[in-house]
Amino acid sequence: MAYIHSTEVIAASEFNRFHLRLLIWSFLIIAFDGYDLVVYGTVVPVLIDQWGLTAVEAGAMGSYGLFGMMFGAIFFGTLADRLGRKNVIVITMIFFSLFTFLCGFAETPTLFSTFRFLAGLGLGGIMPNIIALLTDYAPKSMKSMIVSIVLCGYSIGGILAPLLGIYLMPAFGWESIFWIAGLPLLFLPLTYKQLPETASHLIRTGRKEELISILSKVSPGSTFTIHDEIVEIKTTEIKVPIVGLFKENRALSTVMFWIAFFSCLLMVYGLNTWLPKLMIEAGYGLNSSLAFLIALQGGAIIGTLIIGRLCDKYGSKKMLVPMYASGAISLTLLGFGGNPFVIYVLVAIAGAATIGAQNIVQAYVSQYYPQNIRSTALGMASGIGRIGGMLGPLLGGFLLSVSMPIHLNFIAFAIPGLIAAVALAIVPRRFAYSNESDRNMDSNRINVS
């Protein structure tokens, strides 16, 4: 009989077919998550004309989905730490795919807004659980990189939405790009089969045989049997997971993470919703304005991959603070116009420093907290962040309605970037669970037969 410590096995593992399969499935899920979220910004100019909406009304419609995301992130994030991430991931997929699909059949703003809210429940719950699951199984040397690669799927989905909008809307109407969102429903059984359950949940529920099978795939060079004894770091059982976010000197960090998420998501959703319209106001045509949305997501992909790799090498905080600040600078400069090439570059930098930074800060948060409250930490931060996300479309709609100069609109979205940079700079690195687990890996353990 041997003793197996699942955390050590996973941390010491090398990237293999198990990790690749988890990465691919997570990437596809997040790609549809990004598509479903950005698709509204693609159709906003068309809906304004077709339904006779004001800018404020269109902004409010965009916020209904984000309102649902706030509840979904908090509820499903907390629920997953009790019921397991795998089941909750599938449930949230059903929510965001089904109701985004149904948006394509809505004939009134009220029905459309209702479907967006219900889809938002799933959209808010999916990302915290995908990130937590990836962090649970990623090799220690590339945790941030794996999460960053998967979260690029969000930007791929964000690019597909305006691309399909350019080609499908003229021929089939705005409804057609919502129908595509129903595709994940066809693959739910296969998704459920391919995704693993987190090791900590399998230990807690006594599913030893399933855990042994997964660990054999995580570390194929090792030999595990059902007779081996599972050894795990002891964690304090918390009846109310949210309370755990404020224990062990992490209260300040928790609040600062919430402020950073709030500020960054205000920028992200404000830009995703209003960038095409702002560019139309600046004199560009609809297709050109949608191209700027593509540049925004393209910059997010490049920024996420580059900074994600640097985070594993130098630390997330050192990379994220200047990223937020550069986003504020690029958005400010964007408002003053200039050479088209320069504008595209600034939009791409803004994408890297807003969407890209939001991707990476989620990887940082997932490593900052213990496994037993990881989904709760991400869910709460995302939920608080969605409040900022809801204000983003509303803020953009309000600014357009009062006919402010274009550069002031961009400056208004730049200010939260500076706030996020300051908030993250205050987070003390020494209280991160990733540091503690390295120090305590060989102590304070329990056995699970």
281-336 pLDDT, tens per residue? 766 665 666 677 778 878 888 888 888 888 877 878 888 898 888 888 988 887 77
Q: Is pLDDT of 182 > 70?
A: yes
pLDDT at 25: 94
Asked if residues 141 and 312 have their Cβ atoms less than 8 Å apart, the reply is yes
Tokens describing residue 110: 């009220």
Please give the tally of structural domains in the chain.
1
Tell me, what's the pLDDT at 444? 43
Distance in angstroms (rounded) separating the CA atoms of residues 2 and 193: 29
pLDDT at 439 over 50: no
Residues spanned by the domain of 208: 3-448
Give the residue with greater pLDDT, 40 vs 225: 40
What was the pLDDT predicted at 239? Answer: 54
Residue 449: count other Cβ atoms within 10 Å of its Cβ. Answer: 8
Phi, psi of 106 (to 5 degrees): -75, 135
Residue 231 belongs to a domain with what CATH number? 1.20.1250.20
- Give the confidence band of 135 by pLDDT, cuts at 50, 70, 90: confident
Q: Tokens 């999916």 map to which residue? A: 126
Q: What is the DSSP code (8-state) at residue 235?
A: -
Q: Does 337 or 8 have the greater pLDDT score?
A: 8
Q: What is the pTM of this model?
A: 0.74
Residues 6+ apart with CB under 8 A from 345: none
Tens of pLDDT, residue by residue over 219-265, are 887 777 777 777 665 555 555 567 878 888 889 999 999 999 999 88
Helices (H) and strands (E) in the chain, counts: 19, 3
Q: Please tell me which residue, 19 or 398, carries the higher pLDDT value.
A: 19
Cα 320 from Cα 228, distance rounded (Å): 42
Assign 449 a pLDDT band (cuts: 50, 70, 90).
very low
C-alpha–C-alpha distance, residues 156 and 341, integer Å: 22
Least confident of 118-127, 144-153, 175-184, 227-236: 227-236
Using the predicted structure, report yes or no on whether residue 131 has a pLDDT greater than 60: yes
